[in-house]
Amino acid sequence: MALSKPKILGTPQHFLECGLEDCERNCEFYCNSCHRLLCKQCRDKHLMIPENKNHEVVLYQQRKRQLPVEKCNIHPTKEIDILCKECSIPLCSKCSTMEEHWGHHFIDLETIYTDKFGLCQKEISKIHNYFIPTSQDLQREVQEDATEVKQIMDNIRTSMKAEAESLKNMVDKVLSENMEELHQIEQTLLEKLKSQEKIFNDYIVYLSDLVKKFQSYLSATELTNFTTKLPDNLKIKSIPETTKPVTPEFSPAQYNKKDVSKLLGKITVTDRKGELRRVKPMEIPPIATSMKSTCEQTKQDKHVKSDKKQTVSLSASVTKVREFKVPGVDGVCHTSLYQSDRLWISDDDGNLVQTDLQGNVIQKIKTSGRDEGYHTVTQDGDLIFTDKNKKVINRITQDNKITEFIKTEDWKPLSIHSSHINGDLLVGMSRGIEVKVTRYNKTGKELQNIQRDNKGKELYRKPHYITENINGDICTSDYWKGVVVVNKSGQHRFSYTGQESGFSPYGICTDVLGHILVCDRHSTTIHLLNQDSQFLSLLLTKQQEVDYPCSVCVDDENKLYVGQWFIKKLTVYKYLQ
């Protein structure tokens, strides 16, 4: 039987197709011996060929990874495919016959490669989902601490300047009081000296008058006048006694730099060590994915049997479960699911209806919404929906009371999602040419704004659908930018723009395995990605009668609900097992 070359994984196709010629059925199995993708029918044919009877055929999810081709240095025509356990050296089959390897044990290198490949994928996932986001969180904490340190230092500088200014004012006040006291002393002394000056002025006048009297006696013409009129007492009054002023003395203050430091205050640096930054523990996913190595898968299978826990993985094909009509809408643009028996469904004309799984309308309201994911259901079962005209976010409780929950000021809310992790609300909104995603807590308090990447570039242009992944990533379907994924801290992780030009993303959701499912109206397909941006397959295409898919959501039983633009019905599929 002529065999075709296996199809390259990751190219746009409906899951994986059988690798045998002229067979277009879905791949379910994998031959580890010849590395071929097989459907169930071709698997049986493959094993019926005598030379293939010992081939190892397993489920596709349990396949071994094909060993990269590497030629042996000693035997250039042979490929390295085994490992000598004793020598720990990779060899070709011919090397195993050499004398230095006689009696040694050999291991299939492909098995080791598969295990190491799975381990590397697991470690890469840990790095992307835990170590990098956690390190970035700690880095931001360091930056916040640096900002806080600068603020504290600025506050200390302000306090020091205030203390210095206070001391300066006190010095000025004391100086002013001392100057005033000195002035008073000076005035008192000057007044006393002025009084003494007057005493001497009076005494000098007295002496001058006395001199005149004596001169009059000397000028007498008659001797008798001189002898009779001359005063009996010729004694001159003594010079008045006065005292010298006693001036004050100034004693300079005895102080040094330490005294001034005490007055101004002291900077104290503690010698205790800072607290270790808290590193959040790594969360271990509660369910196993299908991306495990063969060895790990075997261990997991044993664990499942002993623990009786159900694991989930991708099915080899997509199966339609049921389909029901939705009256009251012109099409299905967005679906919000509460548990598995109540849905809120909206069209592009503002009609929003609640229905059961039989298509019976429970209630209907008119909104300003269009082709956007503008409503969501909380963990408590309340409906939250945006009103972009009034720029508010409304809440409808289970007793049908409508209240204005959050006012978004001058921002127009477009899309919204209620977190299944912590109940936060993620809202895509715009204001003119500005666009952002905002996180609110359960009470409506704004917690976070995400607008640009670490290079300052705008992340969004029209975030009309939004959801959250199991690792906390915020996944946004942006009509112009594609699928934009940031981690819970708002750091840009990756963007996905489809497998060909014209990618037109609409409804978006995630599942229990962390897959991202997004509608592409251009190619009328639903793309399936893993949480690290790798394209896995086109989950649904026109071959499954899907036309202009616009809405996707996954219920608690891992069933996929798909709504289409012009069709008044919901189709439910099973794609996980």
Could you tell me which of 549, 528, 555 has the C-alpha nearest to residue 12?
528
Domain ranges of the chain: 7-63, 113-264, 312-576
Altogether, the residues listed in the chain come to a count of: 577
The class level of CATH for 7-63 reads alpha beta
pTM of the prediction?
0.50
Can you give the pLDDT of all 577 residues of the chain as single tens digits? Answer: 333 434 433 333 345 778 787 787 888 898 888 888 889 889 888 998 888 888 989 888 778 877 788 899 999 999 888 989 889 899 998 898 998 899 899 988 888 887 888 788 788 888 888 888 889 888 988 998 898 889 889 888 888 898 888 889 988 999 999 999 999 999 999 999 999 999 999 999 999 988 888 888 777 666 565 555 656 656 788 999 999 989 988 888 887 888 888 877 777 776 667 777 777 777 654 433 333 333 344 334 434 333 433 478 888 788 999 888 888 898 899 999 876 678 999 998 899 999 888 888 888 999 999 889 999 999 888 899 999 999 999 998 777 788 999 999 999 999 999 998 888 999 999 998 899 999 999 889 999 999 998 888 999 999 999 999 999 999 999 999 999 999 988 999 999 999 888 899 999 999 999 999 999 988 899 999 999 989 999 999 988 888 889 999 999 889 999 999 888 889 999 999 8
Geometric angle at alpha carbon 558, from 523 and 374, rounded to 5°: 60
Q: Collect all residues with Cβ–Cβ distance below 8 Å to 471 and sequence separation of at least 6.
A: 129, 487, 488, 514, 531
- 8 A C-beta contact, residue 561 and residue 554: yes
Which tokens hold the place of 191?
A: 């007044």
Distances (CA, A) of 472 to 45, 382, 420, 489, 519: 45, 22, 10, 9, 21
CB 14 within 8 A of CB 536: no
Fold designation for 312-576? Neuraminidase (2.120.10)
Task: Tell me how far apart the alpha carbons of residues 411 and 185 are, in angstroms, rounded to a whole number.
Answer: 74
3-state secondary structure 266-284: CCCCCCCCCCCCCCCCCCC
Contacts 24+ apart (CB under 8 A), 123-132: 124/532, 125/532, 126/282, 128/493, 128/532, 129/471, 129/531, 130/282, 130/283
Identify the sign of the CA torsion 347, 351, 356, 359. Answer: negative
CA 440 from centre of chain: 13
